[in-house]
Amino acid sequence: MPEKFLKPYDPAGTETRIYEAWEKSGLFNPDECVRQGVTAPDAAAYSVVLPPPNVTGSLHVGHAYEDSLQDAIVRFERMRGKRVVWIPGTDSAAIATQARVEKNIQKEEGKSRHDMGREELVRRVMDFARASESTILNQIRRMGASLDWSRYAFTLDEARNAAVMEAFKRMYEAGLIYRGHRIVNWDPKGQTTISDDEIIYEEEKATFYYLKYGPFTIGTARPETKFGDKYVVMHPDDPRYADWKDGQTFEAEWINGPITGTVVKDSSIDMEFGTGVMTITPWHSSADFDIAERHDLDKEQIIDEYGKLLPIAGEYAGMKIAEARPKIVEKLREKALVVKEEPYTHNIATAERTGGIIEPQIKLQWFVDVDKPFVMQHSEIPGIESGSTATLKALMRAAVESGAVHMPQEGFKNAYFHWIDNLRDWCISRQIWFGHRIPVWYGGEQVHIGTEAPSDEGWTQDPDVLDTWFSSALWTFSTLGWPEETSDLATYHPTAFISPGYEILNLWVSRMILMSGFLLGQVPFKTVLIHGVVRDKQGRKFSKSLNNGVDPIDMAERYGADALRMGLLAGTAIGGDVSFDESKVKGYKHFANKLWNIARFILENTEKVRAGSERDSQFSARELEHLNTLEALTNDVTADIEAFRVYMAAEKLYHYAWHELADKILEESKPILAGADEDARRSRAALLLLLLRRTITLLHPFMPFITEEIWSSFAPLMRGASRSDYDNFLMVARWPLLR
RNA sequence: GGGCGAUUAGCUCAGUUGGUAGAGCAUCGCAUUUACACUGCGAGGGUCACAGGUUCGAGUCCUGUAUCGCCCACCA
């Protein structure tokens, strides 16, 4: 009996030691598994990529949950003899990371990015990213994640950059990437464009003004944008304005003097809202922009990139919006142009990363065209033939509709289709400095695509970088060596499943399907297993501002990573939100200790009694019953994990180990083991060794550390009871085959 | 405005195809010097949000209502 078994189980000390041993063995790497004869050379491949966490600090228990879930499935498949690779990585998260560092620098040194310059800022952001990366990787290791570190990738490393450049080039050459003037979400605070998905709407109480505009009364919440308004729009079917014809002009006294207005009839106008008439500001509103495009109207900029009014505002030029608005309203009142004012609550768009209030602007940006037809050279996606014409939207739809990408959760599937149906062109340029620089060079009127400038003089590179999701979208294959035709790519793509939170279904999952479909003609993964958000006991998200964060390392140190994993996984249906409950983790710490003592009891008693071998033991009827129960459990647990019901498998195992094996079988065994009947003693000892071995084998995907520790401590005894593979880690032992 | 999900024990949550309600923590009682007090045995506690319907039988399926949450769109 090893001496450590005489004391309670010590998770903190055990876990780090075991992880080091695993890592040193090289067995997280499937190539090494084959080389060491652990995995058959022709075993089926099973690959998973870790959703790369942002290098913006450290991980929280939400990541711990995601990692535990994937690790349980990955370990299960590895034990089933598959050639398993789980690829780790981190995401540069362009805007998020740069914003974080800029904020720190501003606070500590009082400098802006412009004081510092591009090169210096990028260096500082990269330093921060490297520090975060190191913290994060330690956290992931501490959770026991069996990732193949030899394949580690960072979205901004050399190989991934090569993949991004190649992807950009191929899409550009297919005509799917274009540069154009479009209305974009401009963040005056971050001085960059952001995508629709990076906007957060916040409720604002404002005033809604009814203004006299020539013969009409218009409604607006933003009088400060109205200087250039010379079009008045109404619904073509609105009887109140039936006398007015499209294109008809009229004179009106306006903020800074008389102007000529033009009537525009457009059916996008809501007759019920306000007076049913509005003026439009195409430069600063996407809805207005669309109307202007439809009727080929003039567009004029009113507000600059810093949120200040331009000379068109006359006496208000140079003022910030907030400052100008009351003054303008005052003037309108003086000119008796304000008909009515009423309180009004609406949502204003703010930038997720910087909190800046979005001011739509027309800008020259790069876009991915999601509706343009192109020829699919090669396609393995059902519903899209090789050589046929498709669009990116059609590709995204077909991948899921055909079931090639399986989304078992119907609700998320509907959300995905809904998103595709409403999708507009994807703006991929960002006016920041940290990230993949757009590989486009301008020489006068000429454009060159490539990472290097052409050899002759006079070329300048586009200053923008790509949306961070552009590089993340390549993740399932950029990590496998694409665009090189590596054996990894041939062996491991498409991957088996992806496990993201639902908040990035659109941002990430759909764009992976887009990129993989276009560039490889494949789906990126066969199953999407969407999980919920981990919340605190009050149901709140974990956030820095609430200061309710829980550090997974802290939990692991206090209760053990095994306990934390079980606390997060067991009894938590996948897809729903997870409420983090520390007392649950504590409960599973007790369970770990229980397992420890089950092992101790069995080993202690089988040391004294020479156990019969499994083969020649004459098990009693009662013992055969126990074996059957265990067999049924094995079937159940296997089926559960195969169907991704990880939470159920975990609960069943917990219940079996504690309330069946310990409470019933061990108690029942005590008199037998102390009895006079030697045959009975021997067969019982053999039974208990078998039950213990099977139980810790089944539990290994969930509680890898303690099961490995029991396994290795008692390898000689275990081996005495049965055949084969105790020389190696439990991690690579065989999952019991079904009968 | 559109969509999705939730509502089960004091708290946090499970309950796979419809077959007499479960776990962790908390509460109460009893037991216990050797596997384990990070214990054992046992108890209390739920008209499964509400109202209808289908069925021999509904926490589970259908319809409606209420409350909460999330996602999408965004109306000047």
- pLDDT on residue A721: 44
Task: Please check the confidence at residue A114 and state whether its pLDDT lies above 80.
Answer: yes
Q: Look up the protein residue whose alpha carbon has the minimum distance to the C1' of B73.
A: A422
Report if residue A709 sits inside a domain.
yes
What's the domain range around A724?
Answer: 582-732
What is the 3-state secondary structure of A211-264?
EEECCEEEEECCHHHHHHCCEEEECCCCHHHCCCCCCCEEEEEECCEEEEEEEE
Closest C1' nucleotide to A587's CA: B24
Would you place residue A527 in the very low, low, confident or very high pLDDT band (cuts 50, 70, 90)? very high
Mean confidence (pLDDT) of chain A = 88
Which whole number is the average pLDDT over A240-246?
A: 90
CB A534: neighbour CB atoms within 10 A?
A: 22
pLDDT in tens, A696-736: 999 999 999 999 999 987 766 655 444 455 578 999 999 98
Tell me the residue ranges of DSSP E strands in A611-652.
Answer: none
Report if residue A265 sits inside a domain.
yes
Would you place residue A423 in the very low, low, confident or very high pLDDT band (cuts 50, 70, 90)? confident
Report if residue A225 sits inside a domain.
yes
Would you place residue A24 in the very low, low, confident or very high pLDDT band (cuts 50, 70, 90)? very high
Q: How far is the CA of A175 from the C1' of B1 (A)?
A: 36
pTM of the prediction?
Answer: 0.90
Closest C1' nucleotide to A651's CA: B23
Question: What is the radius of gyration, based on Cα positions, of chain A?
Answer: 32
Tell me the residue ranges of DSSP E strands in A485-535.
Answer: 495-498, 525-528, 534-535
Task: Please check the confidence at residue A288 and state whether its pLDDT lies above 90.
Answer: no
Q: Look up the protein residue whose alpha carbon has the minimum distance to the C1' of B4.
A: A411
Would you place residue A608 in the very low, low, confident or very high pLDDT band (cuts 50, 70, 90)? low
Which whole number is the average pLDDT over A105-119?
A: 90
Which residues lie below 8 Å from residue A66, measured CB to CB, with a gap of 6+? Answer: A51, A499, A500, A501, A531
Report if residue A73 sits inside a domain.
no
Q: How far is the CA of A268 from the C1' of B75 (A)?
A: 10
Q: How far is the CA of A63 from the C1' of B62 (A)?
A: 39
Closest C1' nucleotide to A596's CA: B36
Percentage of chain A lying above the pLDDT 90 cut: 45
Closest C1' nucleotide to A412's CA: B4
- pLDDT on residue A445: 86
One-letter identity of residue A376: M
- pLDDT on residue A464: 92
CB A729: neighbour CB atoms within 10 A?
A: 19
Strands A465-466 and A429-430: antiparallel
Closest C1' nucleotide to A661's CA: B35
Asked if A508 and A469 count as a contact pair (C-beta separation under 8 A), the reply is yes
Which whole number is the average pLDDT over A360-366?
A: 89
Q: How far is the CA of A644 from the C1' of B21 (A)?
A: 25
The total domain count for chain A is 2
How far is C-alpha A514 from the chain's CA centre?
16
Q: How far is the CA of A653 from the C1' of B11 (A)?
A: 25
Q: Which residues, in sequence order, are bridge partners of residue A205?
A: A345
Q: Which residues, in sequence order, are bridge partners of residue A47?
A: A85
Task: Specify the CATH number for the domain of residue A605.
Answer: 1.10.730.10
Would you place residue A571 in the very low, low, confident or very high pLDDT band (cuts 50, 70, 90)? confident
Would you place residue A616 in the very low, low, confident or very high pLDDT band (cuts 50, 70, 90)? low
Asked if A22 and A39 count as a contact pair (C-beta separation under 8 A), the reply is no
* Structural domain ending residue among the three candidates A363, A388, A404: A363
Asked if A715 and A727 count as a contact pair (C-beta separation under 8 A), the reply is yes
- pLDDT on residue A594: 92
Number of helices (H), then strands (E), belonging to chain A: the values are: 24, 26
* Higher-confidence position of A148 and A652: A148
Q: How far is the CA of A71 from the C1' of B43 (A)?
A: 40
Which residues lie below 8 Å from residue A120, measured CB to CB, with a gap of 6+? Answer: none
Task: Please check the confidence at residue A484 and state whether its pLDDT lies above 90.
Answer: yes
Of A140, A127, A152, A171, give the one whose Cα is nearest residue A68: A140
* Structural domain ending residue among the three candidates A363, A380, A401: A363
Q: How far is the CA of A678 from the C1' of B39 (A)?
A: 30
Task: Please check the confidence at residue A158 and state whether its pLDDT lies above 90.
Answer: yes
Task: Please check the confidence at residue A90 and state whether its pLDDT lies above 90.
Answer: yes
Which whole number is the average pLDDT over A171-188?
A: 90
- pLDDT on residue A188: 87
Taking each helix axis from N to C end, the angle separating A704-713 and A678-699, rounded to the nearest 10 degrees, works out to 140
Which residues lie below 8 Å from residue A408, measured CB to CB, with a gap of 6+? Answer: A527, A529, A644
Protein-covered nucleotides on strand B (Cβ within 7 A): 3-6, 11-16, 22-26, 35-41, 69-76
* Higher-confidence position of A346 and A729: A729
Which whole number is the average pLDDT over A475-492?
A: 97
- pLDDT on residue A717: 60
Distance in angstroms (rounded) separating the CA atoms of residues A122 and A485: 31
Report if residue A96 sits inside a domain.
no
Task: Specify the CATH number for the domain of residue A252.
Answer: 3.90.740.10
**Maximum distance among all Cα pairs of chain A, rounded to whole angstroms:** 113
Asked if A563 and A586 count as a contact pair (C-beta separation under 8 A), the reply is yes
Task: Please check the confidence at residue A537 and state whether its pLDDT lies above 70.
Answer: no
Closest C1' nucleotide to A226's CA: B76
Residue A596: its H or E element: helix A582-608
Report if residue A508 sits inside a domain.
no
The DSSP 8-state label assigned to residue A53 in this structure reads P
Task: Please check the confidence at residue A296 and state whether its pLDDT lies above 90.
Answer: no
Would you place residue A610 in the very low, low, confident or very high pLDDT band (cuts 50, 70, 90)? low
Task: Please check the confidence at residue A545 and state whether its pLDDT lies above 70.
Answer: no
Q: Look up the protein residue whose alpha carbon has the minimum distance to the C1' of B71.
A: A415
Taking each helix axis from N to C end, the angle separating A61-79 and A561-569, rounded to the nearest 10 degrees, works out to 90
Task: Please check the confidence at residue A615 and state whether its pLDDT lies above 70.
Answer: no
One-letter identity of residue A11: P
- pLDDT on residue A539: 67
Asked if A443 and A121 count as a contact pair (C-beta separation under 8 A), the reply is no
- pLDDT on residue A206: 81
Which whole number is the average pLDDT over A683-692?
A: 89
Q: How far is the CA of A510 from the C1' of B17 (A)?
A: 31
Q: How far is the CA of A640 from the C1' of B19 (A)?
A: 22
Closest C1' nucleotide to A272's CA: B75
Distance in angstroms (rounded) separating the CA atoms of residues A53 and A65: 13
Of A725, A707, A683, give the one whose Cα is nearest residue A14: A707
- pLDDT on residue A191: 85
Strands A216-220 and A199-213: antiparallel
pLDDT in tens, A588-601: 999 999 999 999 99
* Structural domain ending residue among the three candidates A347, A363, A379: A363
Which range among A162-166, A343-347, A481-485 shows the weakest confidence by mean pLDDT?
A343-347
Tell me, what's the ipTM?
0.90
